[in-house]
Amino acid sequence: MSESFPENTIISSERKSPISFDTLMKDLETMRIVFVGEHHNNPAHHDFQLKILTALYEKNPQLTVGMEIFDQTYQPILDQWSAGALDRQAFIEKVHWYANWKFDFELYGKLLDFIKNNQIPIVALNIPSRVTARIAVGGIDNLFPSDSQFLPQSIDLSNSDHRTYIEKIFSHHNIKGRDNFEYFYSAQCVWEDVMAESISKHIDNSVMLVFTGNGHLVRKFGIPDRVFKRAKLPYRTILPYPAGRQTELKDADYIWVSPLSGRSSVPAAD
């Protein structure tokens, strides 16, 4: 089903109709893992993530947050942040924020402040970008020996729907030095299996709220299904799509029709 909905509408793919934020939360509160997508530079998406984080935390403080934006080498810094041991400036410097990301820290600032103020554990989900970059150029055999420590225990290259989705992305990106699709696809699967493995290793008895780019969640074959193969835990996916876009309900369990980048607004509770 493809349909256009007004800004700040939440759509249930199962019901094929809009629902309230409170109805959404009643379902999410029964899950062990909740995946919420984002466009990294859209402030409205991070405000919506914070709204979900706040609501889930109020119901169950035994909560862990997984974030794509940090690679695993920064886990000790994230632990310090959650413990309240770092101020913002020290944190920004230690995670090399502006070297790794070109957008303003304030996009994530309120999220990270809430996490710190409530001492919520953060899990760094990502693999260092240099590792996937080397795979995309020359395959796994192109890695340095020291890079092998970051590889997942298993890499799933078998999903034909996922492969087709990544092929479309590959065909629209002229990336210098990355003209071999097999290498590119291997890098994508390594990337997503690493994040799936990180989630499954750290969820323990808590609920995990995962923040990652939309592309890793679409139709669940990126990260979510790879987590389920490892952990067999109930989950939901929520994707923010900009107003005016035709909404493909099969892309996620829930779609939130977001404001365009640069404007911030979130749906009100009942």
Average pLDDT of the segment spanning 137-146:
95
Q: Are residues 109 and 137 in the same domain?
A: no
Q: What is the pLDDT of residues 212-266, one digit of tens each?
A: 999 999 999 999 999 999 999 999 999 999 988 777 899 999 999 998 765 555 5
User: Between helices 224-231 and 181-202, what is the axis angle to 10°?
Assistant: 50
For residue 24, tell me if it sits in a domain: no
Q: Would you list the DSSP string of 151-216?
A: S-S------HHHHHHHHHHHHT---TT---HHHHHHHHHHHHHHHHHHHHHH-TTSEEEEEEEGGG
Q: Are residues 132 and 231 in the same domain?
A: yes
Q: How confident is the model at residue 102 (pLDDT cuts 50, 70, 90)?
A: confident
User: Between helices 129-138 and 181-202, what is the axis angle to 10°?
Assistant: 150
Q: What is the pLDDT of residues 52-63, one digit of tens each?
A: 999 999 999 999
What's the token pair of residue 265? 């607004």
* CA separation for the pair 221, 161 (Å, rounded): 8
Q: Are residues 229 and 141 in the same domain?
A: yes
For residue 107, tell me if it sits in a domain: yes
At residue 60's C-alpha, the angle toward residues 77 and 207, to 5°, is 60
Full domain range(s) for residue 89:
42-60+67-126
Q: Are residues 118 and 153 in the same domain?
A: no
Q: Are residues 116 and 199 in the same domain?
A: no
Q: Are residues 84 and 179 in the same domain?
A: no
- The reported pLDDT for the residue numbered 240 is 96
Q: Are residues 121 and 133 in the same domain?
A: no
Q: Are residues 121 and 103 in the same domain?
A: yes
Q: Are residues 200 and 148 in the same domain?
A: yes
* CA separation for the pair 136, 159 (Å, rounded): 18
* Mean pLDDT value across the chain: 93
Q: Are residues 149 and 86 in the same domain?
A: no
For residue 9, tell me if it sits in a domain: yes
Alpha-carbon separation of residue 95 from 56, 80, 125 (angstroms): 27, 11, 14
- If one compares 145 and 263, the residue with the highest pLDDT of the two is 145
Record the pTM: 0.94
Asked if residues 257 and 248 have their Cβ atoms less than 8 Å apart, the reply is: no
For residue 86, tell me if it sits in a domain: yes
- The reported pLDDT for the residue numbered 186 is 97
- If one compares 158 and 265, the residue with the highest pLDDT of the two is 158
- The reported pLDDT for the residue numbered 245 is 76
- The reported pLDDT for the residue numbered 269 is 43
On the question of pLDDT at 267 being above 60, the answer is no
Q: Are residues 154 and 99 in the same domain?
A: no
Q: Are residues 136 and 195 in the same domain?
A: yes
Q: What is the pLDDT of residues 195-216, one digit of tens each?
A: 999 999 999 888 999 999 999 9
For residue 163, tell me if it sits in a domain: yes
Q: How confident is the model at residue 177 (pLDDT cuts 50, 70, 90)?
A: low
For residue 35, tell me if it sits in a domain: no
Q: Of 85, 103, 126, which closes a domain?
A: 126
- The reported pLDDT for the residue numbered 2 is 58
Number of domains in the chain: 3
> In terms of DSSP bridges, do strands 63-71 and 207-213 run parallel, antiparallel, or are they unpaired?
parallel
- The reported pLDDT for the residue numbered 244 is 81
For residue 216, tell me if it sits in a domain: no
- The reported pLDDT for the residue numbered 261 is 60
Of 2-6, 27-31, 164-168, 169-173, the least confident: 2-6
For residue 33, tell me if it sits in a domain: no
Q: What is the pLDDT of residues 69-95, one digit of tens each?
A: 999 999 999 999 999 999 999 999 999
